[in-house]
Amino acid sequence: MIETHSLDLTIPIIMLAAAVLITSFVQRLRASPILGYLLAGLLIGPYGFGFIENTPTTSFLADLGVVFLLFAIGLELPLERLRVMRHLVFGFGGITTISLMLIFGGLVYYSRENLAEAIIIGGAMAFSSTAMLVQLLAERGEFSTRHGRASFAAALFQDLAVVPLLVVIPLLNQKGALIVSSLIGAGLKAVIALVLIMYVGQFLLRPFYRLVIGNKNHELLTGLTLLIVLGMGFSTFHFGLSMALGAFLAGVILSETEFRHQIAADIEPFRGLFLGLFFMTVGMMIDLRFIVDNPLPVVLLLFTLIGLKLAVFYCAARYYELPLYKAMRTAILLAQGGEFGFVLFGLAMQSRLVDADLVNLFSTVAIISMAITPVAVRFSWPYLVQPIAHMDDESLPAPEEFKDKQKHVVIFGYGRVGEVIAGMCQAQQIPYVVIDDDHDRITRARAKNLPVFYGDASKVHVLRSVGTDWAQAAVIAVSRAKKATQITHILRDNWPHVPIFARARDFEHSRKLIETGVAATVPITLNASLELGKTLLQSLGCTPQQIDAAQSSVQKNFE
């Protein structure tokens, strides 16, 4: 038995209580939960009521938030999607990040004539908050919009750009020749480490997941995911890189597997919890007394930071042919300081490269800019952006990287019925994605490069991760009647606009499914499966000739 006096649970309990109470109140006011977390941190932190000081425990919780965030981002970025997004990431992201580094660094060097301070502050202030951006895009469902893709690409490049800065900063105390040699050595070490981690990960992670899934133990699957996130993070940290980078690499590797949707669902509660605690630690850093004592420098620097970022991101977005209001939206989403700026400032303080008062000033401004971003995003749309949004480009086709989440069919179950439905969709080139929990069926389908993934279809996060929000139909092809009914209720409660087609065990089961809102049901036979597929294709606008061709194509596979 664990004795309570051996554990200090005060900090976690206070943080969780504040998060639940204050964030719930803020959300009732229809404000972003990010504001609730920031306010909670301000109230309980050392500059508020002083319930909690900035301790290693709070810093560790904040780091975990960023680690899980980067892992979740990696899960959404398979290598093929990264390849397709390269123009946005390295073009739009590269131009804006490097431009801001040069502008802020140049201003600092002009006023201080200190190269080390110019490099550190220029890099720190160029970064935007990936954590805040992802949360705001998710809250508003704007990930697949043009400005959502552009802003995310810029944040992704910044996450990659922090790696060389983390290598360079400790070397700035050395002389020129030593800096060059040390930088080359550190760069080679980083490249070797990343290649080794990616190589080992690609060969080991998939077999581990197959082994665990074979045991049919969902808790072990969640435990394995947590082990991989923290293990990969520790590996990169051991090589002198950030834990967040290791978690991101783990996500990218697992995004290529058939387990990625279930992993995303399993990790979602941890990501949300630790990310909320991260925002609370940011709120705990807001020193109201420092702001009151130094109002002019804080206000001037705040306007400089936001103004320059708005200008750079807006101009770059217009250069990449985003409409006027989309460019404005992109700039507003990215016009704040970022969490990696605090990491760079902390490293600079350890190396005694930047004056403490200067770090305090720039950190305070970055925190304030993060705090006002949710408010700016909310009110900029109706009062600034919407009045000039005279054209709606949301109906334009999404680029290649989001084609799997646009007007597709979601199929639950890949037994005989599910395979028939998938085959008919494929014959008519209708995009689809399948969720199943049988590893052998998934393995056979993946060997044919079919979009069949492992997942528990009774979990809302799994359904959301396969793009049910954008689906034009859902097909329930699972064999268990109870499971089919459960999935139907989940779909009706969360996605009432998505038509449902289902297999039924018998006429009584068919009647119950129709009562819950299913558009059409059929009994369990091959002919019935073809009939269900015919009904689905009819609802999607296929001609009788196309339907006959799809049925013939599928029947040949089963002869």
Look up residue 241 and give its DSSP letter.
S
d(CA 391, CA 146): 13
Q: How many helices (H) and strands (E) does the chain have?
A: 25, 6
Q: Which amino acid is at 380?
A: S
- Residue 452, beta-bridge partner list: 434
Look up residue 454 and give its DSSP letter.
E
> Whole-prediction pTM value?
0.66
The beta strand positions in 464-554, using DSSP E, are 473-476, 500-503, 520-522
Taking the CA atoms of 365, 368, 373 and 378 in sequence, report the sign of the dihedral they define.
negative
CA atoms within 13 A on the CB side of 519: 20
Among all chains, which residue has been given the structure tokens 């002389």? 175
d(CA 409, CA 539): 12
- CB burial of residue 233 (10 Å; 0-12, 13-18, 19+): buried
Q: What is the pLDDT of residue 390?
A: 45
CATH class of 32-182+275-388: mainly alpha
Q: Which tokens sit at 226?
A: 């947590």
* Number of residues that this document lists for the chain: 559
3-state SS, residue 141 = coil
Q: What is the pLDDT of residue 484?
A: 86
Q: Which amino acid is at 295?
A: P
Which residues make up the CATH 3.40.50.720 domain(s) of the chain? 407-558
d(CA 505, CA 511): 10
Residue 472 CB partners (closer than 8 Å, separation 6+): 407, 408, 409, 498, 499, 540
Strands in 520-522's sheet, in edge-to-edge order, are 452-454, 432-436, 409-412, 473-476, 500-503, 520-522
**Could you tell me the CA-to-CA distances from 552 to 461, 545, 547 in Å, in that order?**
36, 11, 9
**Could you tell me the CA-to-CA distances from 499 to 76, 299, 515, 517, 543 in Å, in that order?**
26, 53, 14, 8, 19
Percent helix / strand / coil, the chain, rounded to 5: 75, 5, 25
Among all chains, which residue has been given the structure tokens 């808790």? 219
470, 488 contact by CB (below 8 A):
no
3-state SS, residue 127 = coil
Pairing of strands 520-522, 473-476: unpaired
CA atoms within 13 A on the CB side of 514: 11
d(CA 438, CA 434): 12
Q: Using alpha carbons only, what angle is made at residue 60 by residues 16 and 3, rounded to the nearest 5 degrees? A: 65
d(CA 422, CA 251): 27
Q: What is the pLDDT of residue 2?
A: 43
Q: What is the pLDDT of residue 306?
A: 93
Which residues make up the CATH 1.20.1530.20 domain(s) of the chain? 32-182+275-388
Note down pLDDT in tens along the chain; length 559 residues.
444 444 567 777 888 888 888 888 887 877 677 778 888 888 888 888 888 876 676 777 777 777 887 788 778 777 666 777 778 888 899 999 999 999 999 999 898 888 888 888 999 999 998 878 877 887 776 766 778 888 988 988 887 787 778 767 777 776 555 666 666 666 676 677 667 777 777 777 777 887 777 776 777 888 888 888 888 888 877 776 777 778 888 888 888 777 877 888 788 777 777 778 777 877 887 788 888 888 899 999 999 999 999 999 999 998 988 888 788 889 999 998 887 887 788 777 777 788 878 888 888 898 888 888 888 887 776 666 655 554 444 433 333 333 444 578 999 988 888 888 888 888 888 899 998 888 778 878 888 888 888 888 888 878 887 888 888 889 988 888 888 888 888 888 888 888 888 887 776 777 788 877 787 776 665 566 777 778 888 888 888 888 888 877 776 665 4
The helix-helix angle for 260-284 and 218-238 (nearest 10°) equals 60
Q: Which amino acid is at 53?
A: E
Among all chains, which residue has been given the structure tokens 């739009």? 92
d(CA 482, CA 487): 9
Q: What is the pLDDT of residue 353?
A: 81
- Residue 502, beta-bridge partner list: 476, 521
Q: Which fold has domain 407-558?
A: Rossmann fold (3.40.50)
d(CA 412, CA 166): 45
Q: What is the pLDDT of residue 180?
A: 64
Look up residue 65 and give its DSSP letter.
H
d(CA 475, CA 513): 12
